[in-house]
Amino acid sequence: MPNVLITGCSSGIGRALAEAFKAAGYDVLASARRKDDVIALNQAGFHAVQLDVNDATALKALAAHLGELDVLINNAGYGAMGPLLDGGTEAMQRQFETNVFSIVGVTQALFPALRKRKGLVVNIGSVSGVLVTPFAGAYCASKAAVHALSDALRMELAPFDVRVMEVQPGAIDTHFAKNAGAQAELLINEQSPWWPLRDGIRARSQASQDKPTPATVFAADVLKAVQQSQPPRLLRSGNGSRALPLLAAWLPKGLLETVLKKRFGLNGSM
């Protein structure tokens, strides 16, 4: 029975992926950071692992216990919303620790297990790393970094027959928008120079739920790609996952920025 370790399985994409792979006959190791979520995953029939993806000691212990691994899905992450200068470097650090640094840390810890099985690393990026929008700069930057490190890892792991697949979801029906909205509300305050534009900030935090694709459909797409004899280097799935990168590639940069500024209330002067 092939096995798969999926990070960030408490809800949303991670939980949908865990269910899809379990139904396909995989031995699913589903990780979550909070103890309550681990208990819920165990009750659902998964081999749940309590894991903070930024905890090097926990990763070392997991690697020693695991031994061999067929598929690693680096899914854990979150979206920090709001003006870049409101969040500052502290918000950027938190965003990159979870969305970027953890991918390197988890993959590094589990590389020996993946090498034994000539396994596959799946990194969950986002179309937001391709088409950058205002009020999501930290998130967009982190996902662009995921795309870059995925390309580098693919080449560096090739001599060991460990493959790397990058996934760029579009709008997926998850709790992402709710969580992003809560993050944005914590940041929005009357002292911010962007306070008059708070409706635009709120609109961006909810943009991922614009006609979203069900998480089950997305998970089925990922499973199908993983099961191919030669998994693709890049998989796009979900509403907007193909159209938005095309817009970013073909529209003149100035025109694209004009459209986005108008969409999020940045076309005036303050």
Q: Is residue 62 part of a domain?
A: yes
**3-class SS of residue 242:** coil
> What pLDDT was estimated at residue 197?
74
Q: Is residue 269 part of a domain?
A: no
pLDDT band at 208 (very low <50, low <70, confident <90, very high): low
pTM for this predicted structure: 0.92
Q: Is residue 268 part of a domain?
A: no
Most confident of 91-95, 115-119, 261-265: 115-119
224: exposed, middle or buried (Cβ count in 10 Å: 0-12, 13-18, 19+) = middle
Res 204 pLDDT > 80: no
Res 150 pLDDT > 90: yes
The catalytically annotated residue of 139, 176, 194, 264 is 139
Give the total number of structural domains in the chain. Answer: 1
CATH assignment at residue 110: 3.40.50.720
Domain boundaries, position 93: 3-263
Q: Is residue 270 part of a domain?
A: no
Res 178 pLDDT > 90: no
78 is an active site residue:
no
What does the pLDDT look like over 91-109, one tens digit per residue? 899 999 999 999 999 999 9
The answer for residues whose C-beta is within 8 angstroms of residue 257's C-beta and 6 or more apart is none
Mean pLDDT within 83-87: 89
